[in-house]
Amino acid sequence: MQNIIQIANGILIGGVGGGGGGVDPFVGLLDAYPNAAAAYSVRQLSSTYTAPTASEFSFGNALDIRYYSYVDFSSISFSGDFTISTWVKFGSFADVIMASTSTLNFYLFTENSTAIRLSIGATAAAPDRLVFTVPAMTTGTWYYLTISRISNSVRLYLNSVESSTLAITSSNTFNLNRWSGYGAPGFEFFGVIDEALISNTTGATQQNVTDLYNSGNGALASTIIPSPTAYWRMNESGTDTTLADETGNYNGTLNGFILPGAWVNGKANNGALVEIRRESDDTTKSFYSDSNNELSLTSPDVNGVTLGTWIGSSDGFVRTWYDQSGNSIDFIQATTSEQPKIITAGAFTLESGKPVITFDGTDDYFTATLSAASTNAYQSLANYKALSVPIVGATTIGSEGLNDKRYWYRDNTDSRIRNGGASEGVFTYLSSNSLVQIIYNGTTTVDVYENNSALQTGTISGSSSTQEIWLGDWASTGRPMNFSLSEFIDWQDDDDTRVSGVKTNQNNYYNIYSPPGGIGTFIIGSTFTIT
C-alpha cells in the first residue's frame, strides 16, 4: 500500500535530524503534504503558520463563556441605525449571544448551525423576529458576525458575506445590556467572544463589514467604525472580573465564571504552537516557534517575552494545543487538573531532545471536533512513547454509544480498531517504541504498519462522518492513557502517496525508530505524533 515519496536531495522538512534547525527558506511538513484536517505539533509544520511580526496587531485574549455565566453592562439604547460586530467561536447552537434583560425587546439567537435570529422590539405591537439563513457553521471555528441596520433594512454578515436583507418594521427604542442569555435557563451562550464592537448610531456598509472582517489581520475595529459606543477588546486575564470597554462607559461585570479559565487566547493568536498554564499563579500565555522553527525555552510570546523567562522555575501545563492546519480545530482543556504536563520546574520533558506533552494516565485529555468528513476514509500518523499500559491511544467519532465510535486502543494482549459498526479489527500487540500507521480505505480494509514494515491487514465494519477526537482518554469510558506525545496530524482520506515521506520526516526529526533509533509513532484515522 505504500507508494514511496522521498524528500528531494535528502532535505528533511521542518528540521535536520535531531538538531532541530530549520532549512532556509523554511519548508514545513504540511507544505509538502497539505490538506490535513487537523495538525498539532511542538514544531512549526507550515511556512504559512507563523507568529505575527512586531508591526502586526494581536488580539490578545478572549472571553470563554460557558452555560450559566454571563456579563452585565450598563444598558445601551438603540432607536435607529446601528452596528453590532464580534468574533465568535461557538461551542454549541440554540444559544442567546446577547440580549436585553429588562424588557426582552432585543436578543440575538442561534436557532441552529444555519440560522441566526434577531428579535427587535419583540412585543405584540412590534413583533420583528428576523431569521437569517447562513452557511453551515461548525463548533470550534472562529467566525466574524456583524449585524447592521440602515434605515428600514437589517443585514447580517458572516465572515463579511451578507446572508440576506430583511425589512424591519419596529420603530421602538430597544436596549442591550448582557452578553449571554437573558435570564431564562437553557438559553445561555456557550462559546468564545472576542473584539466586540457596538455603535448605536452608525449602520455598517458592505465595505465597513469587509474592513471589520479584515481587521482580524491587523487593525483595531474602532478604526473602521470611528467613535464606537462600546468596544470590548476582552484582553483581561487571570482573576479579572471586569470586562473593560475602551470608551470607559460600558464596562461589564462577569457573573458565574470560573477564573482564570475564562480568559483564553483570542482570535488573532495565529501561529502559536501551544498555550501554557503556569502553575505558580495559574496564568496562561501562548508561545510561538523559536528561530529553529520549534518550541523551546527561547520561544517568544506575542510581545517577545521568552517562555523560559515567563515560566521561571514553575511547572507548565498545556491548556491549548493549536491546530496548524488552518481549520482552527484547537485541542482545549480548560480544567486545570486535566491538563497534560509539558514543563517540570522550568525545564521541558524531553524525548530524544524534543519537548513532549505527557498525559498522566489518570485524568489528562484533550478533545476537539473535526468538520464533517467528505469520506469515511482516513489516515493517521503518530509518534508516541507509552509510559504504561493498557491504553496507548483512542480516537472516538460520533455519539457516546460504543458501536458509534471510531477508536484504536491497546490492551495487555493486542490492539483493536473500530470504525463504528459492531466489528473490531484485532491486531498484533504493538510495542511502545514503534512508528505505527493505520490507513482505512473507507469501506472495510484497514492496513497497519509498524516501523515502515507491513504488520497486518484486517477488516472492520461501520462508518462515521462526524469526528470527535479524544487524546488521553477513551470518551466517557474512563480509560485514560499514560503516554507522551509530540505531534498529531489527521488527513481525511487514504492517500498513501504521502506515507513514506511523512514517516521519514517524523523519524528523522524525532528519532523514532532505527535508524537512527528512539521513540514510537503510529497512524490512525488522523495523523499524530506521540513521543
Report whether 473 contacts 479 (CB < 8 A). yes
What pLDDT is attached to residue 220?
A: 76
Backbone angles phi, psi at 242, to 5 degrees: -115, 130
For CA atoms 392, 396, 402, 403, the dihedral sign is negative
Among 245, 265, 285, identify where a domain stops: 265
Give residue 426's domain range: 8-51+271-529
Query: What is the predicted pLDDT for the residue at 55?
Result: 43
Question: Within this chain, do residues 239 and 153 fall inside the same structural domain, yes or no?
Answer: yes
Q: Which amino acid belongs to residue 293?
A: N
Alpha carbon 224 to its chain centroid, in Å, reads 28
Examine the domain organization and report whether 279 and 257 are in the same domain: no
List pLDDT tens digits, range 327-371. Answer: 767 787 878 899 999 999 999 988 878 898 988 878 888 877 665
Domain boundary among 231, 265, 299: 265
Name the DSSP class of 435.
Answer: B
Helix (H) or strand (E) holding 502: helix 499-510
Whether residue 1 is contained in a domain is answered as: no
> Is the separation of the CB atoms in 530 and 483 below 8 Å?
yes
Residues 512 and 372 in one domain: yes
Q: Beta partners for 367?
A: 332, 470
Domain-embedded: residue 287: yes
74 found inside a domain: yes
CA distance 411 to 409: 7
Regarding whether 524 and 393 lie in a shared domain, the answer is yes
Residues 194, 196: Cα–Cα separation, whole Å = 6
Torsion of CA 47, 53, 57, 61, to 10 degrees: 70
Residues 166, 249 within the same domain = yes
Burial of 457-472, coded b for 16+ CB within 10 Å and e otherwise, reads: ebebebbbeebbbbbb
CB 492 within 8 A of CB 375: yes
C-alpha cell at 230: 462600546
Is 483 among the domain residues?
A: yes
Q: What is the pLDDT of residue 11?
A: 30
The residue ranges of DSSP E strands in 159-293, in sequence order, are 161-167, 174-179, 191-199, 230-232, 242-243, 252-255, 263-265, 274-278, 283-287
The region, left, alpha or beta by phi > 0 then psi within -120 to 50, assigned to residue 218 is left
Nearest to 172 by CA among 77, 74, 102: 77
If the chain, 531 residues long, is cut into consecutive pieces of 10 residues, what is the mean pLDDT of each piece?
25 34 71 88 90 58 86 91 92 88 77 88 61 89 90 89 79 83 70 93 90 69 89 88 94 89 71 90 86 94 86 95 82 86 95 86 78 54 48 37 50 60 62 61 70 67 57 64 79 78 82 50 33 31
How many angstroms separate the CA atoms of 261 and 335, rounded?
A: 8
Contact 58, 215 (CB under 8 A): no
Of 217, 235, 265, the residue at which a domain comes to its end is 265
Longest dimension (CA), the chain: 77
Residue 205 maps to a domain: yes
Q: Would you state the torsion angle of the CA atoms of residues 486, 192, 224, 207, taken in this order, to the nearest 10 degrees?
A: 90
Neighbours of 54 (CB within 10 A): 8
Q: Are 126 and 169 in contact (CB under 8 A)?
A: yes
Q: Cα separation of 382 and 429, whole Å?
A: 16
Q: Report whether the peptide linkage leading into residue 340 is cis, meaning its omega lies within 30 degrees of zero.
A: no
User: CATH number, domain at 122?
Assistant: 2.60.120.200
- Residue range 54-99, pLDDT digits in tens: 544 456 788 999 878 899 999 999 888 999 999 998 988 888 899 8
Same structural domain, 14 and 68: no
Q: Give how far Cα 79 sits from Cα of 22, 152, 245, Å.
A: 57, 12, 21
Residues 190 and 289 placed together within one structural domain of the fold: no
Q: Are residues 347 and 432 in the same domain?
A: yes
Does 374 lie in the same domain as 487? Answer: yes
Residues 95 and 196 in one domain: yes
Contact 168/115 with Cβ under 8 angstroms?
A: no
110 and 136 share one domain: yes
Per-residue confidence (pLDDT) for residue 213, from 0 to 100: 80
Q: Is residue 2 part of a domain?
A: no
The verdict on residue 322 lying in a domain is yes
Considering the entire predicted model, what is its pTM? 0.61
* Residue 3, domain member (yes or no): no
Are 29 and 66 in the same domain? no
And the C-alpha cell for 528?
499524530
Grid look-up 491511544 returns 393
pLDDT for 308: 97
Count of other CB atoms within 10 angstroms of residue 69: 20
What's the structural domain count of the chain? 2
